[in-house]
Chain A
Amino acid sequence: MSNVMDMKLVANIGAADIKGEPIRAGFGRGLLAAGKADKNIVGLCADLTESTRMQPFAEAFPDRYIEIGVAEQNLVTVAAGMAAMGKRPFVSSYAAFCPGRDWEQIRTTICLNDQPVTIVGSHAGVSVGPDGATHQMLEDVALMRVLPNMIVVAPGDSIEAEKATMALAGVRKPSYIRLAREATPIFTTPETPFELGKAYVVWEGSDITLFGTGTMTYQCLLAAKTLQSQGISAEVVHVPTIKPLDADTIVASVRKTGRAVAAEEGQMAAGFGSAIAELLSEQHPVPLQRVGMRDHFGESGEPQELLDAFGLTGAHIAEVAKTMLRR
C-alpha cells in the first residue's frame, strides 16, 4: 500500500527531515490572502495579535484590524455586530479563552443569530507545552460542534490551514478553526485538495481505518507506516472538517475495513472521536477505539514529552490498532 496518488502529499512522510511549521502560520497567510480578495473581511484580536498570527493582516489592513484587549466576550459580540452590518469578521485568541470563556455569546449572538463570524482558536491541545493545563485547550471541539449552524475545522498542517482559512472566508456561516502552537510536520502540498466538509483517504488500506483530525492525522500516517512494516494494512482518513462530517467517505472506509481508531489532540468526550462514533453507530456500526485525552487535563512539560505521556503519538495509535486486530 502507498500514498493515495491524487492527494499529492509530500514524499517523505515519516522521515526525520520532514519540514514542520506551526499550523497557526498557515492561518496568518490565509487571512492575509482572504483580506486582499475581500474588503469586507475584518480581523479582531484579544491582545494576542502576533501569537495567533493575525499580525500580517493587521499590518496590511490597519483600518480593518481591531484590537479588543483581553476581553473575549467583547471580542465575539463586537464581531457579531460587525457581521450584522455586512462585515466578515475573523476573531482570534487562544482556544482556552475563545471559545473557552465566551461560549454563550458565541451560541446566542453568532450561532442562533446566524452571523458569519470565524472563531480562530489558537494554541489548542497539550502541545502548547510549558504553559500548562490552563492554556492547553482540550474541550473546544466539543463546545463548538454541539452548536447548530457552526462549521468546525481542524486543519492537519499549515498549508491546509491556509486553504481552510480562505475557504471559510467565502462562507457566510459561523465557523470555528482550531490551530496548534507547535511546529507540526507538513504532509500536504499546495496541490493537495481541500474542500470544506470533505474527508480524504490519505493512505489506503484494508484491515483497519485510522481517522485523524488536526495534528493527529500525521500521527495516524506514522502509525500506518509502522503497521505496514508489521504486515498490517491500515487506511488513514484525514478529517479536517469535524462538522459537518463527510459521512460518505467515513462510512465507505469502515465498510471496507470493519474497524476503526479515531485520534484527536483533545478530550474524547464529545470531541472528534465521539463525532465519528455517533455517525458510525447510526449508519454503519463497527468496533471503534478513540485516542485522545480521556477525562483528564494536561500539565506543564515539553510538547513531545506530553504527547508521549498522553499517548498522542503514531506509536500509540499503532498499538491500539493492533490490540483491536487481535480481538
Chain B
Amino acid sequence: MVQLTIPQLEAKANEIRQDIIKMLVEAGSGHSAGPLGLADIFTALYFHILKHDPKHPDWDERDILVLSNGHCVPVRYATMAHAGYFPKEELITLRKFGSRLQGHPERTRLPGLETTSGPLGSGLSQAAGMAYALKIDGQHHRWVYCVTSDGEHDEGNFWEGMMFAGKYKLSNLIAIVDRNNIQIDGPTEQVMPLEDLRAKWEAFGWHVLEVDGHNMQSIIDACSMARAVTEQPTVIIAHTIPGKGVEYMEYNYLWHGTPPGKSDIAGAPPKDKQAAEALKELRTLGGKIRSEHE
C-alpha cells in the first residue's frame, strides 16, 4: 500500500463516511454512531499504519487488525473496499441475504477479516492470543491491533484479556479504545461508569496513550509510539465523537444502533430527509465548502 498524506487521509475518511451512510440507508438497519466515529481511525490504519496487502489478504507478513466491537463493521467494510479488498459496488449488499458483508463480521465469509465478532468483550482476548502466537514464532516485525469500544469494558471477558496481556507483556499488541462515551442505553458513565479508565488500564500493566481520535497525525503518532514500547502492551484511548461528521447525530446515544431514515429523533431532520442531509453535510464538510451552499 502507498501511504497517504494527512490531507489525503482526511479526504479518504470523508468518502468512507459517505459510503457508511449509503450502506446503512440501503440496509435499512445497522449502527450509525460508532462507524462514523471510527472512520478516521480506520482510514489511518488501512492507508498509513497497517502492513497489509489487499490483493493477498492472507499475506503471512501482514499486521493483524481485530475488530472487537463487531457492530461497527460498516466502517471496516467501507475502508476495506476503498483499500481494494473488494469492489466498492459490493458495499450496498451490507446485511442482505447471501452477502459477504454480514451484519456482524464473519471471518469465513470475507477474506481480510481476521475473526468473527459481535458478542462483545472477546476481541481483546483473541488479539492477545494472536500476539502470543506471534511471540512464540519470533515474528517480532508483526503487530496486532485491536479496535474495541468503551461499552465493551462492561464485559468480564474484557478484563480477563487485559490481565492476560499484561501478565505476558504482549508488547506486540496495541489496543485502540473508541472512547465515544455512549452505549445503547445511554452515556457510558450512566450505564456503568468506566472512569478512571486510564488508571484501570495502567493498573493492569498496560502503557496508556490518549489521543484525539479524529486527528490523523495524532492517531499515526500514537501507533508509532506504541510500537516503540517494549515490555508492555499499549492501549490508545481514542477520544471520539459518536456520529462524527453528521451534526444531528453527534454526541447523541440514540444514534448508536439506528440508521438514517428510520427514526424520528429530536434534533434530526424528518426521516425522509436524514440521509440526504447527512451526505450533504459530509460533502460540504459541515457547510464549510461554500460552493454547495445553494
B119-147 to A contact mask, C-beta < 8 Å, 1/0: 10110011111111110110000000000
Given contacts A77-B125, A80-B126, contact A112 B116 (CB under 8 A): yes
Question: Is the Cβ of B126 less than 8 Å from the Cβ of A81?
Answer: yes
A64-83 to B contact mask, C-beta < 8 Å, 1/0: 10101101011001111111
**Chain B residues in 8 Å Cβ range of A114:** 107-108
A228 in contact (CB, < 8 A): no
How many chain-B residues does the 8 Å CB contact rule pick out?
A: 32
Question: Is the Cβ of A81 less than 8 Å from the Cβ of B115?
Answer: yes
Given contacts A80-B129, A82-B129, A84-B130, contact A109 B122 (CB under 8 A): yes
Question: Is the Cβ of B164 less than 8 Å from the Cβ of A78?
Answer: yes
A104 in contact (CB, < 8 A): yes
A63 to B114, CA, bound (A): 25
**Chain B residues in 8 Å Cβ range of A68:** 164
**Chain A residues in 8 Å Cβ range of B163:** 69, 71, 74
B258 in contact (CB, < 8 A): no
Question: Is the Cβ of A108 less than 8 Å from the Cβ of B119?
Answer: yes
Question: Is the Cβ of B136 less than 8 Å from the Cβ of A64?
Answer: yes
B111 in contact (CB, < 8 A): no
A81 to B161, CA, bound (A): 11
Q: How far is the CB of A88 from chain B (nearest CB, A)?
A: 11
Question: Is the Cβ of B161 less than 8 Å from the Cβ of A74?
Answer: yes
A79 to B134, CA, bound (A): 13
Q: How far is the CB of A84 from chain B (nearest CB, A)?
A: 6
B234 in contact (CB, < 8 A): no
A57 to B117, CA, bound (A): 31
A134 in contact (CB, < 8 A): no
Best-buried of A71, A78, A87, A112 by chain B (most CB within 10 Å): A78
**Binding site secondary structure of chain A:** helix
Question: Is the Cβ of A73 less than 8 Å from the Cβ of B129?
Answer: no
Q: How far is the CB of A184 from chain B (nearest CB, A)?
A: 33
Given contacts A108-B116, A113-B108, A114-B108, contact A81 B128 (CB under 8 A): yes
Partner of B129, one of A79, A104, A108: A79
A69 to B127, CA, bound (A): 18
Question: Is the Cβ of A77 less than 8 Å from the Cβ of B132?
Answer: no
Tell me the B141-157 residues at the A interface (CB within 8 Å).
Answer: 156-157
**Chain B residues in 8 Å Cβ range of A104:** 119
**Chain A residues in 8 Å Cβ range of B156:** 73
Question: Is the Cβ of B115 less than 8 Å from the Cβ of A113?
Answer: yes
Question: Is the Cβ of A73 less than 8 Å from the Cβ of B119?
Answer: no
Q: List 12 A-B contacts (CB under 8 A).
A: A68-B164, A71-B163, A73-B156, A77-B157, A78-B125, A81-B66, A81-B127, A81-B128, A82-B129, A82-B133, A85-B133, A113-B106
The 10 closest A-B CB pairs, nearest first, are: A81-B129, A77-B125, A74-B160, A81-B126, A85-B133, A78-B129, A73-B157, A71-B160, A113-B116, A81-B130
